[in-house]
């Protein structure tokens, strides 16, 4: 996949690579929305310029009932209609993309960032080794 390919999927606007998401954020055509929990961003790392809107929050992992309206507000503030959704592995961000797509009246185009921040687990069940934002060498920071 080239760095600017969109893989169409049923239910939301598509899957994109981390490199595509970064390029879109740099040319200000999309906003990266980090849907991970506050703890994940704090302990594992975060993407500079990404907006934190948790899809589910610890403890309990209850779905954020205001997710769609919070993403919409962030996108409107940034002047964009594309949201590139980032989670740990690209699973919660699919659920978040589906939720945004169900609110088509908001006019936000939702994209899942494939393999998320940490990528898929390797044969030893370790992340950040195979795929994802960090392995792609894109900017990130850790407290």
- Answer yes or no: are the C-beta atoms of 136 and 18 closer than 8 Å: yes
- Answer yes or no: are the C-beta atoms of 109 and 101 closer than 8 Å: no
Instruction: Kindly state whether residue 139 falls inside one of the protein's structural domains.
Output: no
Instruction: Kindly state whether residue 140 falls inside one of the protein's structural domains.
Output: no
Instruction: Kindly state whether residue 10 falls inside one of the protein's structural domains.
Output: no
- Please, what sign has the CA dihedral across residues 142, 112, 102, 29? positive
Q: Above 80 in pLDDT, residue 4?
A: no
Structural domain count of the chain: 1
Which residue, 50, 125, 137, is CA-closest to 87? 50
Instruction: Kindly state whether residue 74 falls inside one of the protein's structural domains.
Output: yes
Q: Which domain holds residue 43?
A: 16-113
Q: Tens of pLDDT along 78-97?
A: 999 999 999 999 899 999 99
Q: What are phi and psi for residue 133, nearest 5 degrees?
A: -55, -50
Q: Above 50 in pLDDT, residue 52?
A: yes
Instruction: Kindly state whether residue 131 falls inside one of the protein's structural domains.
Output: no
- For position 100, which CATH number holds? 3.40.250.10
Which pLDDT does position 1 carry in this prediction?
A: 43
Give the global pTM.
0.92
Instruction: Kindly state whether residue 65 falls inside one of the protein's structural domains.
Output: yes
């Amino acid at each position: 996949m080239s760095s600017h390919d969109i893989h169409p999927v049923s239910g939301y606007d598509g899957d994109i690579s981390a490199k595509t998401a970064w390029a879109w954020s740099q040319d200000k055509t999309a906003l990266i929305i980090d849907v991970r929990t506050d703890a994940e961003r704090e302990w594992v790392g975060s993407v500079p310029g990404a907006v934190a809107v948790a899809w589910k929050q610890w403890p309990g992992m209850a779905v954020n009932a205001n997710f769609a309206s919070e993403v919409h507000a962030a996108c409107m503030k940034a002047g964009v209609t594309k949201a590139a959704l980032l989670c740990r592995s690209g699973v919660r961000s699919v659920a978040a993309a589906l939720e945004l797509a169900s609110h088509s009246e908001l006019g936000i185009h939702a994209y899942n960032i494939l393999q998320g921040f940490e990528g898929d687990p390797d044969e030893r069940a370790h992340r950040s080794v195979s795929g994802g934002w960090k392995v792609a060498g894109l900017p990130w920071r850790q407290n």
